[in-house]
Structure 1
């Protein structure tokens, strides 16, 4: 199978042990991203806990969590070029704000460098920043695990409410973060179409539950 030279270079950069947690950490540290390595492991652990809590496959959740930010090794100013070379669909919002396309790049690296074959895992990685509609249980778990274990300093301003709403349902917890972004959409660099769809879908779903 043909492998793009950049992906081949990534694959050849280290010897993979077959232990995904160890390999993700080693790969990111090898490429000078120790902070991302720590974040990815935390998200993987949290995704596994949430999966056990909400009846999802914990191994798949951990795998998607470990790999969700694996594309951090690609500099922001090279991400659109990489997406083009890998024949990915690039939305105008992604072209104007390349950081956000890292979720799609991470899917490619997870599949072609780390050998992940499970479509649900790859799809959860691909939408972990924005979510999408419709979204699977695994999509929501990886999305919310990333927001609980956010990669910035301090405590997320939405965290207390999010954790409280998770006691009602996973969707209620997801909605807290989606609505947090939505209420600040005028101040975001871009509003990704997948986020818009996810917001609409959640509003409709939760309204139907109340009715």
Structure 2
């Protein structure tokens, strides 16, 4: 079990990101995560093609979004401090959420990804954020549709239907699913709240609804 970023060491890169990420996760005893990120990469690419995001960037973001799974929850705040990330109070309280930021750092540091749009999408794939790009939303929705738990996501039918309308509709469908259950959530991340407010206002405006 890895408890420090320094324990990762170097990871040999072959130039094939799909294989490199899969082998990295398998090496660190995360085979289910390896399977998950490959599915998300494919789904993110599909969504990107539908809505005009850069397909390869979306695919790469999908591969990279959960590489921080190699760190168990109880060490993630320590790791975040170790690598110099800002840690919000909500992340201190619920460390699972900060894995998105750690994954973005690892994507640049270990996998030599330099494109800001990929790193930014990885860094907000759990919560989304305000002023989200098409790539951010493509990865966000793909991750929710190809979730890493057993069974079928309880919101899959609704998100799939909304995705036929627009990417914003699909992203908002999931956030609203969480929002309607917010009393059950351990925390409400401020980025999620910002994304909810922005998408709600944008979709209402497009419908001519002043509320």
TM-score range, shorter chain: over 0.9
Q: 1:3 is matched with which residue? A: none
2-structure distance, mates of 1:128, 1:82 = 19
Aligned ranges 1:1-211 → 2 under 5 Å: 7=5, 9-12=7-10, 14-211=11-208
The alignment of Structure 1 onto Structure 2 pairs a total of residues equal to 205
Deviation of residue 9 (structure 1)? 4.6
Cα distance in 1 between the residues matched to 2:183 and 2:9: 40
Unaligned runs of 5+ in 1: 1-5
Residues 97-154 of structure 1 show CA distances to partners (whole Å, capped at 9, x for unaligned) of 1111000000000000000000000000000000000100000000000000001111
In 2: Cα distance, 1:28 partner to 1:167 partner: 33
When the two chains are superposed, the root-mean-square deviation of aligned CA atoms in Å is 1.0
The runs of 5 or more residues in structure 2 that have no matched partner are: none
Structure 1 segments of 4 or more deviating over 3 A?
6-9
Q: What is the deviation of 1:8?
A: 5.8
- CA distance in 1: counterparts of 2:85 and 2:166, whole angstroms: 34
Q: TM-score, normalised to structure 1's length? A: 0.95
Q: Is the 8 A contact 2:5 2:79 kept in 1?
A: no
Q: Is the 8 A contact 1:7 1:112 kept in 2?
A: no
The Cα shift of 1:15 comes to 2.3
Shift of 1:16: 1.6
